[in-house]
């Protein structure tokens, strides 16, 4: 992996500054305590007991954590408590929390990564009192959207709503932990060394900007790492094209002075391409306006 020298220098300065603040008392007084996402905080791979990917050290302050939380909560749930539990009418799974973590009913085919069970393990490792029935569940307690809607106000519904509402910032920490593995996962499925180097440089260019970690965390939660064959559509030439972080990074120009704007423009291109490649019956064009608004938030907040 090739590290941009300027970025490495900036990161060193940032880490030193965070270290000094933690001992000066200024951080705690201002609510800006440095938060390091370490290997001990890692979410285990489903069924494997441990991650196989390499963990990046991502150090953020409490204020940065809160800002990312607020932005993602708005993006996914319109900052409304009732949207912390949500079942889209064209989806076959329940979405929970500020990032709409996915939870499938037991026995349901899983096209997208099921992220809620991993979140529950993260909660338990963090000392959160998770309802016993949630930890023992083999899948979502509701088989379909109608069952879910009819359950509003029930004990299980209220248990989940309470859990998701009381752990917003911890959910963000779980998302940051996922990001800390994302680059390594992407590089492992990238064969050409020049491509690996280019993707790495773009990741670090973006992460070194003021809103970079928000954009990276949000996009990985929003559209994934871009490494699953099931998360692709065929283009006009019959070639599969994805829309995850991998595709956004490898499509960046890599030579502008504004890496975050470059990232947003690349994300917009990738999502436009997804809609163009998507099956007409899915009518994904109707989603593009909302996706565009989300991508725009990376450069205007």
Spatial neighbors of 140 by CB under 8 A, at least 6 apart, are 93, 94, 103, 104, 105, 106, 148
Residues 60 and 142 occupy one common structural domain: yes
Task: Answer with the one of 166, 188, 210 that is the final residue of a domain.
Answer: 188
On whether both 50 and 130 belong to a single domain, the answer is: yes
**158 and 205 fall within a common domain:** no
Listed residue (289, 300, 207, 203) closest to 252, CA to CA: 203
- The pLDDT tens digits of the residues spanning 123-172 come to 999 999 999 999 999 999 999 999 999 999 999 999 999 999 999 999 99
Residue 119, both tokens: 């979140």
pLDDT tens-digit map of 253-266? 999 999 999 999 99
Confidence band (pLDDT; 50, 70, 90) for 107? Answer: confident
Which one of 134, 154, 188 terminates a domain? 188
Q: Any idea what the Cα angle at residue 235 is, between residues 233 and 240, rounded to 5°?
A: 50
- The dihedrals phi and psi of 150, each to the nearest 5 degrees, come to -75, -15
Domain match, 208 and 173 both: no
In this structure, the answer to whether residues 182 and 296 fall within a common structural domain is no
| Residue 156 included in any domain | yes
pTM of the shown model:
0.78
Any domain includes 72 = yes
Domain that holds residue 235: 191-301
> To 5 degrees, how large is the angle CA 151–CA 156–CA 161?
90
Q: How many domains does the chain have?
A: 2
Does 60 share its domain with 145?
Answer: yes
Residues 6 or more apart whose Cβ sits within 8 Å of residue 129: none
């Amino acid at each position: 992996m090739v590290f941009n020298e300027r970025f490495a220098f900036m990161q060193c300065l940032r880490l030193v500054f965070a270290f000094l603040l933690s001992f000066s008392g200024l951080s705690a007084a201002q609510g800006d305590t440095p938060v390091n996402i370490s290997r001990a905080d890692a979410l285990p791979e489903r069924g494997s007991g441990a991650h196989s990917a390499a963990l990046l050290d991502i150090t953020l302050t409490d204020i940065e954590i809160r800002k990312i939380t607020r932005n993602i909560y708005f993006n996914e749930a319109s900052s409304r408590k009732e949207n912390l539990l949500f079942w889209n009418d064209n989806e076959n799974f329940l979405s929970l929390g500020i990032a709409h973590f996915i939870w499938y009913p037991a026995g349901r085919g899983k096209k997208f990564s099921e992220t809620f069970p991993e979140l529950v393990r993260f909660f338990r490792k963090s000392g959160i009192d998770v309802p016993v029935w949630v930890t023992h569940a083999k899948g979502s307690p509701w088989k379909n959207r109608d069952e879910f809607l009819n359950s509003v106000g029930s004990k299980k519904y209220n248990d989940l709503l309470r859990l998701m509402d009381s752990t917003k910032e911890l959910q963000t920490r779980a998302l940051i932990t996922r990001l800390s593995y994302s680059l390594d996962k992407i590089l492992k499925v990238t064969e050409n060394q020049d491509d690996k180097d280019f993707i790495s440089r773009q990741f670090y260019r973006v992460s070194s900007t003021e809103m970079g970690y928000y954009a990276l965390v949000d996009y990985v939660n929003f559209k994934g790492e871009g490494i699953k064959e099931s998360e692709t559509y065929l283009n006009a030439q019959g070639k599969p094209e994805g829309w995850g972080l991998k595709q956004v990074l490898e499509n960046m120009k890599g030579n502008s002075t504004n890496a975050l704007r470059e990232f947003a423009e690349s994300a917009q291109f990738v999502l436009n391409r997804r809609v163009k490649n998507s099956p007409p019956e899915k009518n994904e064009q109707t989603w593009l306006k909302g996706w565009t608004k989300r991508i725009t938030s990376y450069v205007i907040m």
